[in-house]
Amino acid sequence: MALTDDAIARIKDMILTGELSPGDKLPPENELSEKLGLSRSSLREAVKALETIRVLDVRRGDGTYVTSLEPALLKESVAFMVDLSRDSSVLELLAVRRILEASAASLAAQAISPEQLALLHKEIDDVDVDSAENLVEHDLNFHALIAEASGNSYLASLLSGLNSRTVRARVWRALTQEDAVARTLAEHRAIADALANGDAELARALTIVHVSGVEHWLKRSLPGKENRAAR
């Protein structure tokens, strides 16, 4: 595995240094393995691994290419890895989500456009909360709009990938916590107001409190190993 890791690192360096750019075709396997001083088997395994995380695109009968490396591809890779994580890690994922959502809100407060603000308020005003699934869909849309408004497409993609793993916990909370609907909407309105006022620190703080609500509820409701049921 060490040789494969070395091969992955070598290809990564070629991309980082600009020797290989998005869309470029890799040299033939024998030429590349000789250039890197690696066995063809190690190189082959490295290419498979990088294909899995969408860094490389292997086209049968044509060759291997560097992908576009766009954030959308990063999202797919993150979602894939998150989906493979253990059930008991949901609290850790929520903690990561809290950090990233807060950063997105802070950035959005400085960059959000009037049109994006209008969409955010419309999302709150038009939400149908007849079911837990509707509330969670609204929550996902609300945070996706903020992530997009942050202006950082990689941050938005990371959050999208993480959110796929925490949906079940959020649905469960909406079903079992008596004031989940009212609390969620009130917190969303407060965050939207902070964004409208361009208050980055307040938007960050309110988002931390908002996302922490699921964490605190989960810790109270599912002690010990029962945390895995949240998925």
Kindly tell me if the per-residue pLDDT of 207 is higher than 50: yes
**What are the start and end residues of each CATH 1.10.10.10 domain in the chain?**
2-66
Give percent of the chain above pLDDT 70.
Answer: 78
pLDDT category of residue 195 using cuts at 50, 70 and 90: very high
Whether 221 contacts 206, CB under 8 Å: no
pLDDT in tens, 3-43: 778 888 889 889 888 899 989 999 999 999 998 888 888 89
Choose the weakest-confidence range: 42-46, 91-95, 103-107, 141-145: 91-95
CB atoms within 10 A of CB 30: 10
pLDDT of 194 reads 97
CB atoms within 10 A of CB 114: 8
Cα 20 to its chain centre, rounded Å, is 26
Compute CA distances 61 → 44, 58, 64, 145, 225, whole Å: 15, 9, 9, 41, 49
| Eight-class DSSP state of 59 | E
Cα 154 to its chain centre, rounded Å, is 8
Nearest to 147 by CA among 130, 133, 163: 163
Phi-psi region of 63 (alpha: psi -120 to 50; beta: other; left: phi over 0): left
Report the predicted TM-score, pTM, of the whole model to 2 decimal places. Answer: 0.62
**What are the start and end residues of each CATH 1.20.120.530 domain in the chain?**
72-230
pLDDT in tens, 38-68: 888 889 888 988 887 778 999 988 999 998 8
The string over 49-68, giving b where at least 16 C-beta atoms fall within 10 Å of a residue's C-beta and e elsewhere, is bbeebbbbbeeeeeebbbee
CATH of domain 72-230: 1.20.120.530
Whether 23 contacts 66, CB under 8 Å: yes
**Which residue matches tokens 């001083």?**
37
pLDDT of 87 reads 47
| More confidently predicted of 51 and 81 | 51
Q: Which CATH number fits domain 2-66: 3.40.50.1100, 1.10.10.10, 3.20.20.140, 3.40.50.150?
A: 1.10.10.10
